[in-house]
Structure 1
Amino acid sequence: MTDELPPRTTKGAHEKKKAIDVVTVFLLSITAVLTAWCGFEASKWGGEMSIAFSQASSARIQAAAAEGEARDARQYDLSIYTQWVLADLDGDTELVSYIEERFTPEFRVAFDAWNAGGRSDRGPFATEEYVPPGTDEAVEFTARADTKFDEALENNQRGDNYALLTVLFALVLFLTAMAQRELAPWVRRAFLILAIAVAAVGIAIMLTFPIRI
């Protein structure tokens, strides 16, 4: 009976080693796939970041163009209004009527509101009704640019998060590789258990991240 113990002990140790090897290979395979997936997602979110930054830049350019249009319109209306003021001060009603016929639609609305309000404001330009062409578009494009810029920053952070996960999974690969070394059985098991724990944490974190295909 004493002679049978060493073979059984050797067989049990061999089976444990084989089980550890199977778990190790499985963990290496899964971690390799997850690392590749995180790299893919980091690349995709990096692309989304570039697109959002490009859209934000385009919206900024359109906002600047709209603001330029509004500024030119305001300058034109201001020039016409200056001539109207001079004609009104001179009492030249014929010239006043002539100039009023050349008001732009936007300035006409503000001018009529100014008149209806008893000319209490500092001028038609101070009324809420005066909105030169391009003003609303400038506000809209500026808001779009801000939104796209924030979206780009968010996408950049998402890409960074996936990139950090690749580092975490690289640690899993390192610990798993150490578990394959010719070390004491308890040391190998410790490395393997730690690798499984780190992999589980990485997977749990990854499941909270958005996916872009």
Structure 2
Amino acid sequence: MADDSPHDRWSRAQEIVAVFVLSITAVLTAWAGFEASKWGGEMSIAFSQASSARIQAASAEGQARASQQFDLTVYAQWVLADADGDTELAQYIEDRFSPALSTAFEGWQADGMSENGPFARDDYVPPGQEEAEKLNARADEKFAQALENNQRGDNYSLLTVMFALVLFLTAMSQRDGKTWVGRTLLGLAIVVGVVAVGILLTFPVKI
């Protein structure tokens, strides 16, 4: 049997390369789609956690406002008793200050009452205030994380488009009867595939 012509050998080599590119690209496309789905799920979880933290922060802020309102009412009675010179009543009210108000009140007196009341001091921290600040910070963190995860999912989705282009170019390279056109399309498909793989390697992976 006569040896194959160079043209036949080139054609077979082109077909083998095309099959290899198609197979690898199909796997990478599936992988990119899987990662896009996983990061989309992570985005939803982070958004849910941010919403939950925000609701809890609102509840803690309500507690802090209620505590502060109560302290303001009690303190107003102390101011009236002190202004009237009724030290016994003033002491009676002072003994019933909340822990937060008592701490700030003692510091305010120790500093010579130079500030506009104990509520102006940094050491006045009503119950719920610190928790609200922590929960708001957590909500902000989770919201930022959700946006980041969303971007990661979008990046993987974009890769599926690039891999789809590789599949298209590779398929077209096998349908064109002109050898140089087919090789050009296959070469372009390989270049796009290599670029897409390079980008893929820079992305975080979520299993």
Consecutive unaligned residues of structure 1, counting only runs of 5 or more, are 1-6
Specify the alignment match of 2:55 in structure 1.
Answer: 61
Q: Which moved more, 1:86-95 or 1:69-78?
A: 86-95
Distance across 1 between alignment mates of 2:131 and 2:8: 75
Counterparts of 1:8 and 1:142, CA distance in 2: 80
Q: Which residue in the other structure is 1:115 paired with?
A: 109
Deviates more, 1:149-158 or 1:8-17: 8-17
Aligned residue in 1 for 2:151: 157
Q: Distance in 1 between matches of 2:70 and 2:160?
A: 59
Trace 1:94-113 onto structure 2 (pairs within 5 A): 94-113=88-107
Work out the CA distance in 2 between the residues paired with 1:156 and 1:52: 10
Q: Does 1:188 align with 2:165?
A: no
* Higher alpha-carbon deviation: 14-23 or 197-206: 14-23
The amino acid of 1:66's aligned partner reads A
Structure whose alpha-carbon radius of gyration is higher: 1
Which SS does the other structure have where 2:91 is aligned? helix
Distance in 1, matches of 2:91 and 2:171, equals: 91
The residue type equivalent to 2:90 in the other structure is V
Question: Given the two structures, how large is their TM-score scaled by the length of structure 1?
Answer: 0.95
Q: What value does the CA root-mean-square deviation take over the aligned residues?
A: 1.3
Q: What residue number does 1:3 align with? A: none
- Work out the number of aligned pairs and report it: 207
Query: 3-state DSSP class of the match of 2:114?
Result: coil
Structure 2 length-normalised TM: 0.97
Whole-Å Cα distance in 2 between the matches of residues 84 and 160 of structure 1? 61
Aligned partner of 2:8 in structure 1 is 14
SS of 1:196's partner is helix
Q: Percent identity?
A: 64
Q: Secondary structure at 1:180's aligned position in 2?
A: helix
Mapping for residues 27-42 of structure 1, pairs under 5 Å = 27-42=21-36
* Structure 2 residue ranges without an equivalent (≥5): none
Other structure's SS at 2:5 match? helix
Moved over 3 A (4+): 7-10
Which residue number in structure 1 is paired with residue 202 of structure 2? 208
Residue 8 of structure 1 deviates from its aligned partner by 6.9
How far 1:16 moved relative to its partner? 1.1
Q: What residue number does 2:171 align with?
A: 177
